[in-house]
A and B are shown apart, each in its own frame.
Chain A
Amino acid sequence: MQDYLPLLILLTIIAALLQEDSILVVFYLIAGTYIAARIWSQRSLDSIRYDRSYPSRAYLGETVQVKLSLTNSRRLPTLWLQVHESLPLALATPNFFRQVFHLGPHEKVSYEYPLHALKRGYYPVGPLFLRTGDFLGLSQEMERQGSTDFLTVYPKIVPITHLGLPTHTPFGNLKHHQPVFEDPSRITGKRDYQSGDSLRHIDWKASATSGQLKVKKYEPSISLESCIFLDLNPRAYDLKTRFDATELAIVISASVANWITSRKQAVGLSTNGIDPINNDRVPVLIPPRKGRGHLMHVLDVLARIQANDGHPIHHQLNVDASTLPWGTTVVLVTGQLDDSLFDQLFQIRRRGLNAAVILAGKAANLEDARRRAVHSGIEIYQVMYESDLDQWQ
């Protein structure tokens, strides 16, 4: 349009000299159109409001429908608007959503696109780029960048029905065969008094009714408070299967956490991986707690967590296990057991905690590790492939 500025000036001069109305009106028209077109396009972009609605968490294999709503908040229509939504490649092909449309005054349009949760992770949805221009195409198109939201895809959870982790914490809600774990809150019946029974166990009402001394029978029970130590140091895994093995370790951790929570027991998580939303990159520790809400918190971390070459797990075992209460079961998920880990697990046993190790992927010197574990009273399980988890179903 700048090329035609001389023409506009010429028009004005001719119109002024000849006092010809129609020429001046043409000048008004061209100048007015140019100004209106520029103002229109500038205002259009400012008036766009957008909203992205979708469930922010998804289980593996689910399809999440993202609803993108765009609203023109003013009376001025937006002649054309191009939206470009960047999407994670792991969830959508192609990895963007694009559309061009018109928005009338106060009009709202909505588009839906699917995201396929095929891989666990913490994925950015967006940013949204909005682009518009004037209807004559005289000025440069304008672009605005919107915000980014996130979608958490949980790791695969294999339903475990029995695992048999060791525990010595009394007064829980899991049955146990050793009478040393008798729980006074779980009465199973009454029996006649025998010499040596504690007076505190006598049921006085029943004794008065029957005329004989009766004592309460208690059910032995234990509590399985556990903390999963997930080793995400790539060096702990076999070089050839490193990526798959770390992912398998995450699946194992998620499945075990789910199993423990389903038994109404407390579970915690400690890992040397990196949480992307944790800027200072310190190792993650979630203290053991009960409930589905806590499990979702653990799964959130397991969805986001990434392998980290920095911290070895034995250092973390030393620091974090010291904060755990007596009788807690430490479940270490790693790729291989070395001397330093054995030493650390032995220390844990000496502190009154239980220890179990689940080896994910191909482990070197497995037989040697088993032999040493038997001597130290440590349970060892091996899961080479995901299908091996079926043994606990």
Chain B
Amino acid sequence: MTADSHAHRVTKQNRSLPDTICILLVCSMMGCVALSIAQVGARLDSSWNGSYLAGLAVLVSLEALLTTRLFTDYPFLSPEWMLYRGVEWVVLLIGMRLFIYAWHLPGQLLRNLPAGGNPFSFEFINLDVVVGVVTGLVIWVLSTQYGSALFLLEYDPDRLDTEREGIGMLDRWQVRKQIMALIFTVGGLMIVLTAFQRVDLTEFRLREPAADPRRWILLVYFLLGLILLGITNFSALRSRWYIQKVPLASNLSRRWIVFSAILLSLISVMAILLPTRYAVDILALINILISILAAILGFLYLLLLSPLLYLFNQLFRLLRPSPVESEPANPFLPFMPPPASNEPPIPWLDFLRSALFWVLLIGVISFSLYHYLDQRKGWVDGLRKVSVAGWLINLWNWFLQGIKKANRQFTAILVEAAQKTVGYIQSRRSKRFSIGPAPMTPKDRVIHTYQSMVQYNQDTGVPRQSHQTPQEYGRILQEAIPDIKLDIDAITGTFMEARYSQHAITPEQANRAVDWVENIRSAVDEWMKRTNKDTP
């Protein structure tokens, strides 16, 4: 493959998707930043609604990202640069004002139309516009920074070809560090803003956390940021592979993005599920787990015993003598519910979170201890010499092996059960929608049984030669194992009848053929064992 065709492959299949997604991710992250600013505004003035800032930020960010790459050749503060930026900002200001107007227009119409006022009244500068422009400026600056860095990581065959010749090598790791710094710096500022929302400055105390789902914007921002980091890693690697002329699989970028997103989403879900404050302690957790286990075992026990109890009950009824007058039995006492606990029930979500937390914590501690001891085998050997410690270590090893064994057995049981279930379902399905070969006729069964016997004997040491007729083969078998003369005669005769005659074979004959072959097989096995034993 030539270098040109290699470049073509990268361009067509692995270029567009990552670069486009990077732009979309940065726009979304800027939307998160704007929402964070809007939340702070809402804390300062609860009547102010700054949700329009998100849309505004996305638009400004998109403009900045798309136009940055067009004018990278102009030196900073040069006349061309000033002209370009001036024009851009005039258009941006008009665009922002129109966007804010359009955003508020439906509400304005609803307010003014019933009151008879001018529904299209236009105030050039108000608080929304000032906040919008300031936010837009911040977003524009950030997006320009992102855009410049992403532009360097993008696929540019001309630049990469130059680098391939060793001219103007770009340190893409530094570019990625720049992007990482931007993500974490802006994220840090968002954390400060989030923290600021918790502090009541008037009374100098912490407010109660808001139930507003928008407080998870911080998480969304970091999630998007991490996905962006992953894709920029791909971009940097893609450039390296291009320079080294390493061909890429066509689906690499798509799979990279999909698997990164899946992994990060899973981690996010786990992060959300993990407890953020102390909920259920470990003893309570174990208590709950044991209770659940006991309930399950009790249920299984009842399930298994109930048929027996029923049988015994029926038996005792039959054996009971004729009814006699007896004292009236004590009236059946109704089941009294246990006294209600004063403790409030533990919510399931808290329980799940605590379970996850303790599992992870115990896992981390066990992992650390295991590796700590594994790295210091001398200590363990030394401890082993001390009788009590050695006994404890052996006990621990025994426990560990027991756990492993139980785990293996349990897994094997589960796998076997699953396979049986799948097999049963498949067999049912195949029975219901059978499109496969029809079941064998008795004639086919006899032929198949005989052939399986020949095959078996082939492997065990009494092979049938290609020139031998069934009768000749039968005689050889009889000479080797005289005990089964009758069975061999029977199966040979039935086989010849099934194979070479037009006679009908009954299912009973086919069943008998199976029995004869079973006998022959057992006899052949015995003969083999004897032969092997006799052989020195």
Contacts and interface: CB of A to CB of B under 8 A. Distances in A.
B412 interface: no
Nearest to B215: A22
Contacts of B260: 79, 135
Interface in B227-262: 229-230, 232-234, 236-237, 241, 244-249, 251-252, 255-256, 259-260
B252 A101 contact: yes
A22 B256 contact: no
A205 interface: no
B216 interface: yes
A25 B263 contact: no
A24 B246 contact: no
Nearest to B185: A7
Which of A7, A15, A32, A133 has the largest count of B CB atoms less than 10 A from its CB?
Answer: A32
Given A101-B252, A137-B233, A18 B195 contact: yes
Contacts of A366: none
Contact of B271 (A3, A15, A28): A28
A102 B258 CA distance: 12
Interface in A208-242: none
B219 A100 contact: no
Interface of A: 3-4, 7, 10-11, 14-15, 18-26, 28-30, 32-33, 36, 40, 77, 79-80, 82, 98-102, 104, 109, 133, 135-137
Contacts of B270: 28, 32
Contact of B180 (A4, A100, A104): A4
A135 B184 CA distance: 18
Which of B177, B195, B232 has the largest count of A CB atoms less than 10 A from its CB?
Answer: B195
B432 interface: no
A22 B188 CA distance: 13
Contact of A23 (B218, B230, B277): B218
Given A19-B206, A102-B256, A36 B263 contact: yes
Contacts of B237: 80, 100, 133, 137
A80 B234 CA distance: 9
Contacts of A22: 194, 215-216, 218-219
A22 B210 CA distance: 11
A23 B252 contact: no
Contacts of B271: 25-26, 28-29, 32
A26 B263 contact: no
Q: Is the interface of B mostly helix, strand, loop or mixed?
A: helix
B235 to A, nearest CB: 10
Interface of B: 173, 176-177, 180, 184, 187-188, 191, 194-195, 198-199, 206, 209, 215-216, 218-219, 222-223, 226, 229-230, 232-234, 236-237, 241, 244-249, 251-252, 255-256, 259-260, 263-264, 267-268, 270-272, 274, 276-277
Contact of A100 (B184, B199, B249, B264): B249
Nearest to B196: A18
Nearest to A77: B259
Given A137-B176, A137-B233, A100 B248 contact: yes
A3 B173 CA distance: 14
A176 B244 CA distance: 67
Contact of B259 (A14, A135, A136): A135
Given A23-B195, A101-B248, A137 B236 contact: yes
A201 to B, nearest CB: 39
Given A100-B241, A135-B234, 19 more contacts: A14-B191, A15-B276, A18-B195, A19-B198, A22-B219, A23-B195, A25-B216, A25-B276, A26-B187, A30-B226, A33-B264, A79-B259, A82-B241, A100-B246, A100-B248, A101-B248, A102-B249, A135-B230, A136-B233
Nearest to A14: B195
A28 B271 CA distance: 5
Contacts of A10: 188
Contacts of A77: 255, 259
A32 B191 CA distance: 18
Which of A14, A82, A102 has the largest count of B CB atoms less than 10 A from its CB?
Answer: A102
Contacts of A19: 198, 206, 209, 277
A18 B198 contact: yes
B228 to A, nearest CB: 10
A33 B267 CA distance: 7
B193 to A, nearest CB: 11
Given A20-B195, A23-B218, A29-B222, A80 B247 contact: no
